[in-house]
A and B are shown apart, each in its own frame.
Chain A
Amino acid sequence: MKRFILESTAIVAVELIKLVRDPTEVISRAVQPVLWLVVFGQVLAQARGIHTGQLNYLDFITPGILAQSVLFSAIFYGIAIIWERDLGVVHKLLVSPALRSSLVFGKAFAAGFRGVLQAIVIYIVALALHVSIRLDPLAIVAVLASVMLGSAIFSTFSLIIACIVKTRERFMGIGQLLTMPMFFASNAIYPLDLMPGWLRVIAQINPLTYLIDALRGLMIKGGEVVHGYLVDFSVMLAVFSLLLFVAVRLYPKLAE
Protein backbone atom coordinates (compact mmCIF):
# COMPACT_ATOMS: atom_id res chain seq x y z
CA MET A 1 0.00 0.00 0.00
CA LYS A 2 2.87 2.36 0.88
CA ARG A 3 4.44 1.67 -2.49
CA PHE A 4 1.14 2.34 -4.26
CA ILE A 5 0.77 5.69 -2.48
CA LEU A 6 4.38 6.75 -3.15
CA GLU A 7 4.19 5.91 -6.84
CA SER A 8 0.75 7.51 -7.31
CA THR A 9 1.86 10.70 -5.58
CA ALA A 10 4.92 10.84 -7.84
CA ILE A 11 2.60 10.91 -10.87
CA VAL A 12 0.28 13.45 -9.21
CA ALA A 13 3.22 15.70 -8.27
CA VAL A 14 4.42 15.83 -11.88
CA GLU A 15 0.94 16.61 -13.20
CA LEU A 16 0.50 19.39 -10.63
CA ILE A 17 3.85 20.96 -11.49
CA LYS A 18 2.81 21.02 -15.15
CA LEU A 19 -0.61 22.42 -14.28
CA VAL A 20 0.84 25.25 -12.20
CA ARG A 21 3.46 26.01 -14.83
CA ASP A 22 0.94 26.19 -17.67
CA PRO A 23 -2.65 26.78 -16.51
CA THR A 24 -3.83 27.78 -20.02
CA GLU A 25 -5.98 24.69 -20.46
CA VAL A 26 -7.74 25.12 -17.13
CA ILE A 27 -8.41 28.79 -17.81
CA SER A 28 -9.75 28.15 -21.32
CA ARG A 29 -11.95 25.31 -20.07
CA ALA A 30 -13.44 27.64 -17.45
CA VAL A 31 -14.96 29.86 -20.14
CA GLN A 32 -17.66 27.40 -21.22
CA PRO A 33 -19.25 26.79 -17.79
CA VAL A 34 -19.20 30.52 -17.11
CA LEU A 35 -21.19 31.06 -20.34
CA TRP A 36 -23.65 28.33 -19.38
CA LEU A 37 -24.30 29.97 -16.03
CA VAL A 38 -24.23 33.61 -17.06
CA VAL A 39 -26.15 33.28 -20.35
CA PHE A 40 -28.10 30.03 -20.48
CA GLY A 41 -28.82 29.83 -16.76
CA GLN A 42 -29.95 33.42 -16.38
CA VAL A 43 -32.14 33.40 -19.50
CA LEU A 44 -33.85 30.13 -18.57
CA ALA A 45 -34.30 31.37 -15.02
CA GLN A 46 -36.22 34.38 -16.41
CA ALA A 47 -38.32 32.20 -18.69
CA ARG A 48 -39.33 29.86 -15.83
CA GLY A 49 -39.98 27.21 -18.48
CA ILE A 50 -38.59 24.26 -16.53
CA HIS A 51 -40.17 23.23 -13.25
CA THR A 52 -37.36 22.68 -10.75
CA GLY A 53 -39.29 22.31 -7.50
CA GLN A 54 -38.38 24.67 -4.69
CA LEU A 55 -35.10 25.79 -6.34
CA ASN A 56 -34.93 28.59 -8.86
CA TYR A 57 -33.45 27.51 -12.19
CA LEU A 58 -30.03 29.09 -11.69
CA ASP A 59 -29.66 27.32 -8.33
CA PHE A 60 -30.80 24.10 -9.97
CA ILE A 61 -28.33 24.09 -12.85
CA THR A 62 -25.22 25.33 -11.00
CA PRO A 63 -24.25 21.83 -9.76
CA GLY A 64 -25.11 20.49 -13.23
CA ILE A 65 -22.79 22.99 -14.88
CA LEU A 66 -20.03 22.13 -12.42
CA ALA A 67 -20.48 18.44 -13.24
CA GLN A 68 -20.53 19.26 -16.96
CA SER A 69 -17.29 21.16 -16.55
CA VAL A 70 -15.76 18.18 -14.74
CA LEU A 71 -16.99 15.83 -17.47
CA PHE A 72 -15.75 17.95 -20.37
CA SER A 73 -12.28 18.55 -18.95
CA ALA A 74 -11.79 14.95 -17.81
CA ILE A 75 -13.15 13.22 -20.90
CA PHE A 76 -10.43 14.73 -23.10
CA TYR A 77 -7.69 13.62 -20.71
CA GLY A 78 -7.16 10.65 -23.02
CA ILE A 79 -5.73 13.00 -25.65
CA ALA A 80 -2.87 13.76 -23.26
CA ILE A 81 -2.36 10.03 -22.70
CA ILE A 82 -2.14 9.41 -26.46
CA TRP A 83 0.25 12.34 -26.75
CA GLU A 84 2.40 10.82 -23.98
CA ARG A 85 2.37 7.54 -25.85
CA ASP A 86 3.52 9.24 -29.06
CA LEU A 87 6.34 10.91 -27.12
CA GLY A 88 7.48 7.68 -25.48
CA VAL A 89 6.56 8.79 -21.96
CA VAL A 90 4.16 5.87 -21.56
CA HIS A 91 6.92 3.42 -22.57
CA LYS A 92 9.24 4.89 -19.97
CA LEU A 93 6.62 4.67 -17.23
CA LEU A 94 5.76 1.10 -18.13
CA VAL A 95 9.38 -0.07 -18.18
CA SER A 96 9.71 1.15 -14.59
CA PRO A 97 8.82 -1.31 -11.81
CA ALA A 98 5.97 0.97 -10.68
CA LEU A 99 2.64 -0.78 -10.27
CA ARG A 100 0.32 -0.28 -13.23
CA SER A 101 -2.45 0.54 -10.79
CA SER A 102 -0.31 3.36 -9.28
CA LEU A 103 0.28 4.88 -12.70
CA VAL A 104 -3.41 4.82 -13.66
CA PHE A 105 -4.63 5.93 -10.23
CA GLY A 106 -2.05 8.74 -10.18
CA LYS A 107 -3.35 10.01 -13.53
CA ALA A 108 -6.94 9.84 -12.29
CA PHE A 109 -6.13 11.61 -9.05
CA ALA A 110 -4.24 14.35 -10.90
CA ALA A 111 -7.30 14.90 -13.11
CA GLY A 112 -9.22 15.43 -9.88
CA PHE A 113 -7.16 18.52 -9.13
CA ARG A 114 -8.10 19.98 -12.51
CA GLY A 115 -11.71 19.42 -11.54
CA VAL A 116 -11.15 21.22 -8.25
CA LEU A 117 -9.86 24.27 -10.12
CA GLN A 118 -13.02 24.23 -12.26
CA ALA A 119 -15.08 24.05 -9.07
CA ILE A 120 -13.35 27.11 -7.64
CA VAL A 121 -14.17 29.12 -10.79
CA ILE A 122 -17.81 28.03 -10.65
CA TYR A 123 -18.11 28.87 -6.95
CA ILE A 124 -16.86 32.40 -7.70
CA VAL A 125 -19.22 32.91 -10.66
CA ALA A 126 -22.16 31.39 -8.77
CA LEU A 127 -21.61 33.68 -5.81
CA ALA A 128 -21.45 36.67 -8.14
CA LEU A 129 -24.80 35.58 -9.63
CA HIS A 130 -26.31 35.23 -6.12
CA VAL A 131 -26.80 31.48 -6.42
CA SER A 132 -27.81 30.02 -3.02
CA ILE A 133 -24.47 28.37 -2.36
CA ARG A 134 -23.88 26.46 0.88
CA LEU A 135 -20.72 27.94 2.33
CA ASP A 136 -20.19 25.73 5.37
CA PRO A 137 -16.67 24.24 5.21
CA LEU A 138 -17.84 20.63 5.49
CA ALA A 139 -20.16 21.03 2.51
CA ILE A 140 -17.39 22.67 0.45
CA VAL A 141 -14.95 19.86 1.29
CA ALA A 142 -17.60 17.31 0.33
CA VAL A 143 -18.23 19.10 -2.97
CA LEU A 144 -14.52 19.11 -3.77
CA ALA A 145 -14.28 15.41 -2.87
CA SER A 146 -17.23 14.68 -5.17
CA VAL A 147 -15.60 16.68 -7.95
CA MET A 148 -12.35 14.75 -7.52
CA LEU A 149 -14.20 11.45 -7.65
CA GLY A 150 -16.18 12.56 -10.71
CA SER A 151 -13.01 13.71 -12.47
CA ALA A 152 -11.32 10.42 -11.62
CA ILE A 153 -14.25 8.48 -13.11
CA PHE A 154 -14.38 10.39 -16.40
CA SER A 155 -10.61 10.68 -16.83
CA THR A 156 -10.22 6.93 -16.29
CA PHE A 157 -13.03 6.33 -18.78
CA SER A 158 -11.15 8.62 -21.14
CA LEU A 159 -7.92 6.68 -20.58
CA ILE A 160 -9.74 3.45 -21.48
CA ILE A 161 -10.99 5.00 -24.73
CA ALA A 162 -7.45 6.22 -25.46
CA CYS A 163 -6.09 2.70 -24.93
CA ILE A 164 -8.64 1.32 -27.39
CA VAL A 165 -8.52 3.92 -30.19
CA LYS A 166 -4.81 4.85 -29.81
CA THR A 167 -4.90 7.87 -32.16
CA ARG A 168 -5.80 11.48 -31.43
CA GLU A 169 -8.02 11.81 -34.51
CA ARG A 170 -10.20 8.85 -33.57
CA PHE A 171 -10.25 9.94 -29.94
CA MET A 172 -11.53 13.43 -30.80
CA GLY A 173 -14.44 11.93 -32.72
CA ILE A 174 -15.40 9.54 -29.95
CA GLY A 175 -14.89 12.17 -27.24
CA GLN A 176 -17.32 14.53 -29.01
CA LEU A 177 -19.73 11.66 -29.53
CA LEU A 178 -19.81 10.79 -25.82
CA THR A 179 -19.81 14.10 -24.00
CA MET A 180 -23.01 15.78 -25.20
CA PRO A 181 -25.22 12.64 -24.92
CA MET A 182 -23.85 12.02 -21.41
CA PHE A 183 -24.62 15.61 -20.48
CA PHE A 184 -28.14 15.67 -21.91
CA ALA A 185 -28.96 12.20 -20.55
CA SER A 186 -28.43 13.43 -17.00
CA ASN A 187 -30.18 15.64 -14.45
CA ALA A 188 -27.79 18.55 -15.19
CA ILE A 189 -30.21 21.04 -16.75
CA TYR A 190 -33.62 19.45 -16.10
CA PRO A 191 -34.96 17.15 -13.38
CA LEU A 192 -35.21 13.40 -14.00
CA ASP A 193 -39.01 13.41 -13.68
CA LEU A 194 -39.37 15.72 -16.70
CA MET A 195 -37.60 13.19 -18.94
CA PRO A 196 -39.40 10.69 -21.15
CA GLY A 197 -39.19 7.12 -19.81
CA TRP A 198 -36.45 5.92 -22.17
CA LEU A 199 -34.21 8.89 -21.36
CA ARG A 200 -34.77 8.42 -17.64
CA VAL A 201 -33.52 4.82 -17.96
CA ILE A 202 -30.33 6.06 -19.65
CA ALA A 203 -29.94 8.78 -17.02
CA GLN A 204 -30.18 6.16 -14.27
CA ILE A 205 -27.14 4.30 -15.64
CA ASN A 206 -25.19 7.49 -16.29
CA PRO A 207 -22.65 8.14 -13.51
CA LEU A 208 -22.92 11.89 -14.21
CA THR A 209 -26.48 11.77 -12.80
CA TYR A 210 -25.21 10.56 -9.42
CA LEU A 211 -22.44 13.15 -9.30
CA ILE A 212 -24.95 15.94 -10.01
CA ASP A 213 -27.41 14.53 -7.48
CA ALA A 214 -24.77 14.59 -4.74
CA LEU A 215 -23.52 18.03 -5.77
CA ARG A 216 -27.04 19.48 -5.74
CA GLY A 217 -27.51 18.48 -2.12
CA LEU A 218 -24.02 19.49 -1.00
CA MET A 219 -23.65 22.73 -2.92
CA ILE A 220 -27.06 24.44 -2.91
CA LYS A 221 -29.13 25.61 0.05
CA GLY A 222 -32.34 23.56 -0.05
CA GLY A 223 -30.97 21.33 -2.82
CA GLU A 224 -32.81 18.01 -3.00
CA VAL A 225 -30.86 14.74 -3.18
CA VAL A 226 -33.09 12.35 -5.12
CA HIS A 227 -31.10 9.14 -4.71
CA GLY A 228 -29.47 9.85 -1.33
CA TYR A 229 -25.78 10.38 -0.65
CA LEU A 230 -25.16 6.72 0.15
CA VAL A 231 -26.48 5.62 -3.24
CA ASP A 232 -24.73 8.47 -5.09
CA PHE A 233 -21.30 7.80 -3.60
CA SER A 234 -21.67 4.01 -3.71
CA VAL A 235 -22.48 4.14 -7.42
CA MET A 236 -19.62 6.53 -8.13
CA LEU A 237 -17.10 4.46 -6.16
CA ALA A 238 -18.30 1.24 -7.80
CA VAL A 239 -18.04 2.78 -11.29
CA PHE A 240 -14.57 4.16 -10.53
CA SER A 241 -13.39 0.78 -9.21
CA LEU A 242 -14.68 -0.99 -12.31
CA LEU A 243 -13.10 1.55 -14.66
CA LEU A 244 -9.80 1.41 -12.73
CA PHE A 245 -9.79 -2.38 -13.01
CA VAL A 246 -10.26 -2.19 -16.78
CA ALA A 247 -7.81 0.70 -17.26
CA VAL A 248 -5.02 -1.05 -15.34
CA ARG A 249 -5.31 -3.96 -17.76
CA LEU A 250 -5.52 -1.83 -20.91
CA TYR A 251 -2.90 0.84 -20.11
CA PRO A 252 0.13 -1.42 -20.82
CA LYS A 253 -1.31 -2.15 -24.29
CA LEU A 254 -0.56 1.46 -25.21
CA ALA A 255 3.15 0.69 -25.38
CA GLU A 256 2.81 -2.40 -27.59
Chain B
Amino acid sequence: MNTSTPDLPTEFAIKTQALTRQFGSLTAVDCIELRIPHGDIFGLLGANGAGKSTVIKMLTTLLSPTSGSAEVGGYDIIKSPGDVRRNIGYVSQLLSADGALTGYENLQLSARLYGIDRAARSTRIRDALDFMGLSDSAGKLVKTYSGGMIRRLELAQAMLHHPAILFLDEPTIGLDPVARHTVWDRLLELRRDFGITVLITTHDMEEAETLCDELAILHAGRISVVGKPAALRAGLGDGATLDDVFAHYAGGSIHESGSFSDIAQTRRTAHRLG
Protein backbone atom coordinates (compact mmCIF):
# COMPACT_ATOMS: atom_id res chain seq x y z
CA MET B 1 0.00 0.00 0.00
CA ASN B 2 1.64 3.23 -1.15
CA THR B 3 0.56 5.51 1.67
CA SER B 4 2.38 8.80 1.95
CA THR B 5 2.63 10.58 5.27
CA PRO B 6 0.62 13.79 4.96
CA ASP B 7 1.82 17.22 6.01
CA LEU B 8 1.31 17.62 9.72
CA PRO B 9 -0.18 21.04 10.38
CA THR B 10 -0.32 20.83 14.19
CA GLU B 11 1.54 19.32 17.09
CA PHE B 12 -1.23 16.85 17.88
CA ALA B 13 -3.16 14.65 15.49
CA ILE B 14 -6.19 14.86 17.77
CA LYS B 15 -6.81 17.56 20.34
CA THR B 16 -10.01 18.13 22.31
CA GLN B 17 -10.96 20.92 24.67
CA ALA B 18 -13.77 20.40 27.16
CA LEU B 19 -15.52 18.21 24.59
CA THR B 20 -19.02 17.50 25.89
CA ARG B 21 -22.11 15.77 24.60
CA GLN B 22 -25.45 15.59 26.31
CA PHE B 23 -28.51 13.56 25.34
CA GLY B 24 -31.34 15.27 27.15
CA SER B 25 -30.44 15.23 30.83
CA LEU B 26 -27.74 12.55 30.32
CA THR B 27 -24.18 13.77 29.92
CA ALA B 28 -22.61 11.02 27.81
CA VAL B 29 -19.24 12.78 27.42
CA ASP B 30 -18.23 15.32 29.99
CA CYS B 31 -15.46 17.87 29.32
CA ILE B 32 -13.01 15.46 27.69
CA GLU B 33 -9.44 16.72 27.19
CA LEU B 34 -7.34 14.60 24.84
CA ARG B 35 -3.94 15.24 23.27
CA ILE B 36 -2.86 12.52 20.87
CA PRO B 37 0.54 12.97 19.14
CA HIS B 38 1.02 12.10 15.47
CA GLY B 39 1.89 8.46 14.89
CA ASP B 40 0.57 7.18 18.22
CA ILE B 41 -1.88 4.35 18.72
CA PHE B 42 -4.14 5.66 21.45
CA GLY B 43 -6.60 3.42 23.26
CA LEU B 44 -9.90 4.60 24.67
CA LEU B 45 -11.12 2.12 27.27
CA GLY B 46 -14.22 2.02 29.38
CA ALA B 47 -17.24 -0.03 30.29
CA ASN B 48 -20.24 -0.16 27.95
CA GLY B 49 -21.97 3.20 28.05
CA ALA B 50 -18.87 5.02 29.33
CA GLY B 51 -18.89 7.35 26.30
CA LYS B 52 -16.22 5.83 24.04
CA SER B 53 -18.37 5.55 20.92
CA THR B 54 -19.84 9.01 21.53
CA VAL B 55 -16.30 10.46 21.59
CA ILE B 56 -15.49 8.69 18.31
CA LYS B 57 -18.76 9.83 16.72
CA MET B 58 -17.96 13.44 17.60
CA LEU B 59 -14.38 13.24 16.35
CA THR B 60 -15.50 11.64 13.08
CA THR B 61 -18.19 14.36 12.62
CA LEU B 62 -21.11 11.94 12.92
CA LEU B 63 -22.34 13.75 16.01
CA SER B 64 -22.12 17.41 17.01
CA PRO B 65 -20.74 18.24 20.45
CA THR B 66 -23.06 20.03 22.85
CA SER B 67 -20.12 22.20 23.92
CA GLY B 68 -16.34 22.28 23.76
CA SER B 69 -14.24 21.81 20.66
CA ALA B 70 -11.89 19.40 18.92
CA GLU B 71 -9.33 19.40 16.16
CA VAL B 72 -8.63 16.33 14.07
CA GLY B 73 -5.61 16.53 11.77
CA GLY B 74 -5.54 20.26 12.46
CA TYR B 75 -9.15 20.79 11.35
CA ASP B 76 -11.97 21.90 13.59
CA ILE B 77 -14.69 19.24 13.70
CA ILE B 78 -17.47 21.86 13.70
CA LYS B 79 -16.08 24.49 11.31
CA SER B 80 -14.40 22.17 8.80
CA PRO B 81 -16.15 18.77 8.93
CA GLY B 82 -15.43 18.12 5.23
CA ASP B 83 -11.67 18.55 5.77
CA VAL B 84 -11.82 16.28 8.82
CA ARG B 85 -13.61 13.59 6.78
CA ARG B 86 -11.04 13.77 3.99
CA ASN B 87 -8.23 13.16 6.50
CA ILE B 88 -9.65 10.28 8.51
CA GLY B 89 -10.48 6.64 8.07
CA TYR B 90 -13.15 4.95 10.19
CA VAL B 91 -13.96 1.37 11.07
CA SER B 92 -17.24 1.17 12.91
CA GLN B 93 -18.05 -1.23 15.72
CA LEU B 94 -20.75 -2.55 13.37
CA LEU B 95 -19.86 -4.59 10.31
CA SER B 96 -20.26 -1.99 7.62
CA ALA B 97 -18.92 -3.87 4.58
CA ASP B 98 -21.79 -4.66 2.23
CA GLY B 99 -22.30 -8.42 2.12
CA ALA B 100 -24.20 -8.23 -1.18
CA LEU B 101 -21.13 -6.79 -2.94
CA THR B 102 -17.73 -8.32 -3.62
CA GLY B 103 -14.66 -7.10 -1.75
CA TYR B 104 -13.54 -5.27 -4.88
CA GLU B 105 -16.93 -3.58 -5.28
CA ASN B 106 -16.91 -2.43 -1.66
CA LEU B 107 -13.51 -0.83 -2.19
CA GLN B 108 -14.63 0.68 -5.48
CA LEU B 109 -17.53 2.41 -3.73
CA SER B 110 -15.17 3.86 -1.13
CA ALA B 111 -12.75 5.00 -3.83
CA ARG B 112 -15.51 6.83 -5.68
CA LEU B 113 -16.93 8.47 -2.55
CA TYR B 114 -13.46 9.66 -1.55
CA GLY B 115 -12.91 11.14 -5.00
CA ILE B 116 -9.97 8.91 -5.96
CA ASP B 117 -9.66 9.51 -9.67
CA ARG B 118 -10.39 6.76 -12.15
CA ALA B 119 -6.74 6.37 -13.26
CA ALA B 120 -5.48 5.69 -9.73
CA ARG B 121 -8.50 3.74 -8.53
CA SER B 122 -7.66 0.21 -9.62
CA THR B 123 -4.02 0.47 -8.49
CA ARG B 124 -5.06 1.74 -5.07
CA ILE B 125 -7.65 -1.00 -4.69
CA ARG B 126 -5.20 -3.68 -5.78
CA ASP B 127 -2.56 -2.39 -3.35
CA ALA B 128 -5.04 -2.28 -0.49
CA LEU B 129 -6.23 -5.81 -1.19
CA ASP B 130 -2.62 -7.03 -1.34
CA PHE B 131 -1.72 -5.31 1.91
CA MET B 132 -4.67 -6.88 3.71
CA GLY B 133 -4.08 -10.30 2.15
CA LEU B 134 -7.43 -10.29 0.35
CA SER B 135 -6.37 -10.34 -3.30
CA ASP B 136 -7.57 -13.91 -3.85
CA SER B 137 -10.98 -13.13 -2.39
CA ALA B 138 -11.53 -9.78 -4.12
CA GLY B 139 -14.14 -11.15 -6.52
CA LYS B 140 -16.13 -13.07 -3.91
CA LEU B 141 -19.24 -11.73 -2.21
CA VAL B 142 -18.41 -10.33 1.23
CA LYS B 143 -21.19 -12.40 2.82
CA THR B 144 -18.97 -15.44 2.13
CA TYR B 145 -15.98 -13.88 3.99
CA SER B 146 -14.90 -14.89 7.50
CA GLY B 147 -15.14 -12.29 10.27
CA GLY B 148 -11.41 -11.58 10.13
CA MET B 149 -11.54 -11.06 6.37
CA ILE B 150 -14.44 -8.60 6.72
CA ARG B 151 -12.52 -6.59 9.31
CA ARG B 152 -9.44 -6.53 7.07
CA LEU B 153 -11.60 -5.42 4.16
CA GLU B 154 -13.01 -2.63 6.32
CA LEU B 155 -9.49 -1.58 7.25
CA ALA B 156 -8.63 -1.54 3.54
CA GLN B 157 -11.68 0.65 2.90
CA ALA B 158 -10.72 2.99 5.72
CA MET B 159 -7.14 3.30 4.42
CA LEU B 160 -7.86 3.55 0.70
CA HIS B 161 -7.67 7.34 0.55
CA HIS B 162 -4.46 7.43 2.64
CA PRO B 163 -5.84 9.14 5.75
CA ALA B 164 -3.54 10.56 8.41
CA ILE B 165 -5.75 9.36 11.24
CA LEU B 166 -7.67 6.15 11.71
CA PHE B 167 -10.60 5.69 14.09
CA LEU B 168 -11.39 2.12 15.10
CA ASP B 169 -14.42 1.43 17.27
CA GLU B 170 -13.92 -2.01 18.85
CA PRO B 171 -12.48 -3.41 15.61
CA THR B 172 -11.82 -6.94 16.86
CA ILE B 173 -15.03 -7.53 18.74
CA GLY B 174 -16.34 -11.04 18.03
CA LEU B 175 -13.21 -12.20 16.18
CA ASP B 176 -11.42 -15.42 16.98
CA PRO B 177 -7.84 -15.12 18.36
CA VAL B 178 -6.17 -15.81 15.00
CA ALA B 179 -8.25 -13.22 13.15
CA ARG B 180 -7.66 -10.75 16.01
CA HIS B 181 -3.90 -11.15 15.79
CA THR B 182 -4.00 -10.71 12.01
CA VAL B 183 -5.86 -7.40 12.41
CA TRP B 184 -3.35 -6.28 15.07
CA ASP B 185 -0.43 -7.16 12.79
CA ARG B 186 -1.90 -5.07 9.98
CA LEU B 187 -2.47 -2.12 12.31
CA LEU B 188 1.09 -2.24 13.63
CA GLU B 189 2.40 -2.42 10.06
CA LEU B 190 0.33 0.60 9.09
CA ARG B 191 1.73 2.59 11.97
CA ARG B 192 5.32 1.43 11.40
CA ASP B 193 5.36 1.96 7.65
CA PHE B 194 3.20 5.04 7.28
CA GLY B 195 3.23 6.80 10.64
CA ILE B 196 -0.55 6.77 10.82
CA THR B 197 -2.25 7.90 14.04
CA VAL B 198 -4.85 5.50 15.45
CA LEU B 199 -7.58 6.09 18.00
CA ILE B 200 -9.00 2.73 19.03
CA THR B 201 -11.73 1.81 21.50
CA THR B 202 -11.63 -1.64 23.02
CA HIS B 203 -12.71 -3.82 25.91
CA ASP B 204 -9.87 -6.21 25.27
CA MET B 205 -6.96 -5.57 27.63
CA GLU B 206 -4.62 -7.78 25.61
CA GLU B 207 -5.42 -5.64 22.58
CA ALA B 208 -4.77 -2.47 24.55
CA GLU B 209 -1.47 -3.83 25.88
CA THR B 210 -0.30 -5.04 22.46
CA LEU B 211 -1.26 -2.05 20.37
CA CYS B 212 -1.49 1.11 22.40
CA ASP B 213 1.24 3.63 23.14
CA GLU B 214 -1.09 5.41 25.53
CA LEU B 215 -4.47 4.75 27.08
CA ALA B 216 -7.33 6.75 28.53
CA ILE B 217 -9.96 5.07 30.66
CA LEU B 218 -13.41 6.62 30.54
CA HIS B 219 -15.92 6.33 33.33
CA ALA B 220 -19.38 7.92 33.13
CA GLY B 221 -18.29 10.22 30.34
CA ARG B 222 -15.16 11.49 32.07
CA ILE B 223 -11.52 10.51 31.72
CA SER B 224 -10.48 8.68 34.89
CA VAL B 225 -6.85 8.28 33.94
CA VAL B 226 -4.43 8.70 31.01
CA GLY B 227 -1.03 7.11 30.64
CA LYS B 228 1.18 4.52 29.05
CA PRO B 229 0.08 0.93 29.77
CA ALA B 230 3.23 0.10 31.72
CA ALA B 231 2.98 3.26 33.82
CA LEU B 232 -0.68 2.59 34.59
CA ARG B 233 0.12 -0.94 35.72
CA ALA B 234 3.05 0.26 37.80
CA GLY B 235 0.81 2.87 39.41
CA LEU B 236 -1.28 0.12 40.98
CA GLY B 237 1.70 -1.75 42.38
CA ASP B 238 3.76 -4.81 41.57
CA GLY B 239 2.05 -7.53 39.60
CA ALA B 240 -0.90 -5.37 38.60
CA THR B 241 -2.37 -6.22 35.21
CA LEU B 242 -4.20 -4.00 32.79
CA ASP B 243 -7.39 -5.77 33.88
CA ASP B 244 -6.70 -4.48 37.39
CA VAL B 245 -6.12 -0.99 36.02
CA PHE B 246 -9.38 -1.17 34.10
CA ALA B 247 -11.35 -2.43 37.12
CA HIS B 248 -9.79 0.27 39.29
CA TYR B 249 -10.50 3.22 37.00
CA ALA B 250 -13.59 2.11 35.06
CA GLY B 251 -15.85 2.53 38.05
CA GLY B 252 -15.98 -1.07 39.27
CA SER B 253 -19.43 -1.60 37.79
CA ILE B 254 -18.51 -3.35 34.60
CA HIS B 255 -21.08 -6.11 34.94
CA GLU B 256 -23.97 -3.72 35.40
CA SER B 257 -23.05 -1.30 32.65
CA GLY B 258 -24.20 -0.97 29.06
CA SER B 259 -27.60 -0.14 27.70
CA PHE B 260 -29.87 -2.66 26.00
CA SER B 261 -29.01 -1.19 22.60
CA ASP B 262 -25.25 -1.39 23.32
CA ILE B 263 -25.49 -5.06 24.18
CA ALA B 264 -27.84 -5.79 21.27
CA GLN B 265 -25.48 -4.04 18.87
CA THR B 266 -22.46 -5.94 20.18
CA ARG B 267 -24.26 -9.25 19.90
CA ARG B 268 -25.46 -8.41 16.39
CA THR B 269 -21.90 -7.71 15.30
CA ALA B 270 -20.61 -10.86 16.96
CA HIS B 271 -23.40 -12.86 15.32
CA ARG B 272 -22.55 -11.51 11.87
CA LEU B 273 -18.93 -12.40 12.44
CA GLY B 274 -20.03 -15.96 13.11
Contact = CB atoms under 8 A, between A and B. Distances in A.
B268 interface: yes
Contacts of B96: 87-89, 91-92
B85 A96 contact: yes
B137 interface: no
Contacts of B86: 97
B42 interface: no
A256 B62 contact: yes
Given A18-B100, A21-B100, A255-B62, A95 B90 contact: yes
B100 to A, nearest CB: 5
B98 A96 contact: no
A6 B98 contact: no
Contacts of B191: none
A14 B60 contact: no
A169 interface: no
Contacts of A92: 90, 92, 96, 110, 157
A95 B85 contact: yes
A87 B105 contact: no
B202 to A, nearest CB: 17
B205 interface: no
Contact of A22 (B85, B100, B112): B100
Nearest to B92: A88
Interface string B243-271: 00000000000000000000000001000
B95 interface: yes
Interface of A: 3, 6-7, 9-10, 13-14, 17-18, 21-22, 86-89, 91-98, 252, 255-256
B72 to A, nearest CB: 11
Contacts of B140: none
Interface centre among A86, A89, A92, A93 (most CB of B within 10 A): A92
Interface in B49-101: 57, 60-63, 82, 85-86, 88, 90, 92-96, 98, 100-101
A196 B97 CA distance: 51
Contact of A93 (B61, B88, B113): B113
Interface in B105-125: 105, 109-110, 112-115
A13 B92 CA distance: 23
Given A6-B115, A18-B100, 6 more contacts: A9-B112, A92-B157, A94-B61, A96-B110, A98-B114, A256-B63
Contacts of A18: 98, 100-101
Contact of A86 (B85, B88, B94): B94
A9 B86 CA distance: 20
Contact of A91 (B88, B92, B113): B92
B62 A91 contact: yes
A170 B273 CA distance: 27
A90 B22 CA distance: 22
Interface in B136-179: 157
Contacts of A255: 57, 62-63
Nearest to B87: A97
Closest 8 CB pairs of A and B: A88-B94, A88-B96, A10-B112, A88-B92, A92-B96, A96-B113, A97-B85, A95-B90
Nearest to B106: A14
B90 A97 contact: no
A7 B94 contact: no
Given A86-B268, A95-B62, A17 B113 contact: no
28 contacts: A6-B115, A10-B109, A10-B112, A13-B109, A13-B112, A14-B101, A14-B105, A17-B105, A18-B101, A22-B100, A87-B96, A88-B95, A91-B92, A92-B90, A92-B96, A92-B157, A94-B62, A95-B61, A95-B88, A96-B110, A96-B113, A96-B114, A97-B113, A97-B115, A252-B62, A255-B57, A256-B62, A256-B63
A14 B63 CA distance: 26
Nearest to A252: B62
B113 A87 contact: no
A86 B265 CA distance: 8
B98 A10 contact: no
Contacts of B101: 14, 17-18
